[in-house]
């Protein structure tokens, strides 16, 4: 046993004993959790109108209960939804705990102001705004879904985002819907091709959204896990962006299982 610890008291002091209103060993509050915010960036421009939007709404409603248990005792998972068409709008004014989150069905109209959405996200991903949890946070998950090409200057918005360190350490994934969405442009957002997937059919849209959202929140809400078989000491470079790489790898594995008959255009095969 350790003998040189002076701040361990043999006997409890009188002050401690007097505080008997708050000394119940069973009177615990929940363990302090790390927080994780999942940002959904959703294209609600006119081209999404109809089946795409209807299906997206349904998938998102189903998805919420599925990611509810992801955080377990360690992580408080919150969700924030940013929609962009002609305007940029948050579904709720602040991130909401997954346990209380209810999906508000979205409509679609207008043009694709993706750059403005990036700028807005960059402004909100801050200690003084949406990421204001007093305890520790995991880097956020950012999931972009779009069926078209930005109609504004997305580059300047992306630049603002790239200057944000939450973005830098966060997990980024994107889903292109239909023929118009540009995977190269989406890879600029995620930082790698592996974390960009494409849905051409309604069935794919549903499964891709679930794969990406569940996988990203699972990886995002947990600490890093080891996967190397060597016995060498890990250093900072080994682990840098390890989660983003893991996300890319897992998305590709899972998507690989799903893409049979993927050449069918979005609007056929319903």
Residue 61: CB minimum distance to another protein, A: 10
The residue among 235 and 268 lying less far from another protein, judged by its C-beta, is 235
Please report how close the Cβ of residue 184 comes to another protein at its closest, in angstroms.
Answer: 27
Cβ(208)–Cβ(254) under 8 Å? no
Smallest gap, in angstroms, from Cβ of residue 232 to another protein?
A: 6
The residues near 148 (Cβ < 8 Å, ≥ 6 apart) are 43, 45, 47, 112, 180, 181
Token code pair at residue 83? 């929609």
Q: Which stretches within the chain are classed as H helix?
A: 14-18, 51-68, 114-124, 154-162, 165-169, 183-190, 202-220, 236-239, 242-256
> Of 184 and 260, which has the nearer Cβ to another protein?
260
Pick 30 or 263: Cβ nearer another protein? 30
Question: Could you tell me if 44 and 2 are in contact, meaning their C-beta atoms sit under 8 angstroms apart?
Answer: no
Q: For residues 11 and 93, which CB has a smaller minimum distance to another protein in the complex? A: 11
Determine contact, residues 98/78, Cβ cutoff 8 Å: yes
Give whichever of 156 and 223 is closer to another protein, judged by the CB atom: 223
User: At its nearest, how many Å lie between another protein and the CB of residue 92?
Assistant: 18
CB distance 130 to 167 below 8 Å: no
For the bound state, the minimum distance from the C-beta of residue 10 to another protein, rounded and expressed in Å, comes to 6
3-state SS class at 238: helix
DSSP notation for 84-96: ESSSEEESSSS-E
Contact residues for another protein (CB under 8 A)?
A: 1-2, 4-12, 16-18, 20, 22-32, 34, 65, 68-69, 72-74, 99, 127, 134-139, 165-166, 169, 222-236, 238-243, 253-254, 257
* For another protein, the closer CB: 116 or 209: 209
The residues near 166 (Cβ < 8 Å, ≥ 6 apart) are 125, 126, 131, 139, 140
Question: CA-CA distance, 135 to 122, in Å (whole number)?
Answer: 21
Whole-number minimum distance, CB 147 to another protein, in Å?
27
Task: CB nearer to another protein: give 84 or 101.
Answer: 101
Least separation in angstroms between CB 239 and another protein: 4
């Amino acid at each position: 046993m350790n003998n040189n610890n002076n701040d361990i008291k043999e006997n409890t002091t009188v002050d401690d004993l007097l505080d008997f209103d708050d000394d119940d060993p069973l009177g615990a509050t929940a363990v302090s959790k790390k927080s994780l915010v999942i940002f959904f960036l959703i294209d609600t421009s006119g081209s999404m109108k109809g089946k795409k939007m209807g299906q997206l709404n349904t998938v998102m409603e189903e998805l919420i209960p599925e990611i509810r248990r992801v955080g377990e005792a360690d992580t408080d998972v919150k969700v924030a939804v940013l929609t962009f068409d002609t305007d940029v709008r948050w579904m709720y004014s602040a991130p909401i705990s997954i346990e209380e989150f209810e999906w508000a069905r979205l409509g679609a109209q207008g043009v694709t102001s993706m750059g403005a959405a990036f700028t807005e996200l960059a402004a909100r991903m801050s200690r003084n705004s949406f990421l204001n949890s007093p305890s520790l946070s995991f880097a956020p998950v950012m999931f972009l879904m779009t069926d078209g090409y930005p109609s504004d200057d997305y580059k300047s918005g992306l630049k603002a985002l790239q200057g944000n360190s939450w973005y830098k350490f966060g997990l980024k994934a994107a889903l292109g819907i239909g023929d118009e969405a540009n995977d190269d442009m989406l890879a600029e957002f995620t930082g790698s091709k592996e974390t960009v997937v494409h849905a051409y059919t309604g069935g794919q849209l549903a499964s891709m959204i679930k794969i990406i959202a569940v996988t990203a929140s699972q990886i995002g809400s947990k600490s890093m896990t080891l996967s190397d078989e060597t016995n060498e000491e890990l250093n900072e470079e080994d682990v840098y962006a390890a989660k983003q790489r893991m996300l890319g790898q897992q998305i590709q594995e899972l998507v690989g299982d799903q893409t049979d008959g993927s050449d069918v255009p979005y609007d056929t095969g319903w």
